[in-house]
Amino acid sequence: MALATAAMLAGVAMAGGHGGAKKMAATGPIAERQQAMKDIKSNFVPLVKMVKGAQPFDAATVKKNAEIIAAKLQASAKLFPEGSDTGDTRAKPEIWTMSEEFQAIMNTAIEKAKALANVSSPDQLAPAVMALGGEGCKACHEKFRKPKQK
């Protein structure tokens, strides 16, 4: 019990120190947000498979994955600091020139992910996944993400 608490506190301390650190490398937030997005995708894909019937509906998995997506979206919102639009990134400059809209879509995506976490029956799944995918992922990527460089 005491050990678990100590470990947890150590984890919290590290998380806090990391985010507040001034010596963040130029590529730091870019790599971190790309990793967050990758994690978001890997949690989203199984839910899309459930909609398609390629994977059986499981409310516990929906809840768990959707909660991770919501948390990672929330975290990624802080990983777009001013000036991180150059380098190995597909982030469009509009993220900073139209930051209110970017934030609005981010908030919508977080809301939709939270709503998805509350899905308890298979018939609720498709609309909730579509809402997150369409009004969240797709809406933001179309406006604020550059096409893949070949």
What does the binding site for ligand HEC look like in residue numbers (CB under 6 A)?
30, 33-34, 37-38, 40-41, 44, 69, 89-91, 102, 105-106, 109, 132, 136-137, 140-141, 144-145
Cα–Cα distance for residue pair 95/32, rounded to 1 Å: 17
121 CA to centre of own chain = 24
Kindly state the smallest distance separating residue 69's Cβ from ligand HEC, in Å.
5
Query: Token pair for residue 28?
Result: 């730091």
Q: Which is nearer to ligand HEC, 8 or 38 (CB)?
A: 38
For 98, residues 6+ apart whose C-beta sits below 8 A from its C-beta are 143
State which residue, 14 or 45, has the beta carbon closest to ligand HEC. Answer: 45
Shortest reach from residue 119's CB to ligand HEC, in Å: 15
Of 6 and 30, which has the nearer Cβ to ligand HEC? 30
Q: Which residue matches tokens 């890997």?
A: 42
As a whole number of angstroms, the distance between CA 53 and CA 69 comes to 21
Q: In this complex, which beta carbon is closest to ligand HEC, that of residue 7 or of residue 99? A: 99
Per-residue tokens: 104: 């609005």
User: Least distance in Å: CB of 81 to ligand HEC?
Assistant: 11
Least distance CB 15 / ligand HEC (angstroms): 21
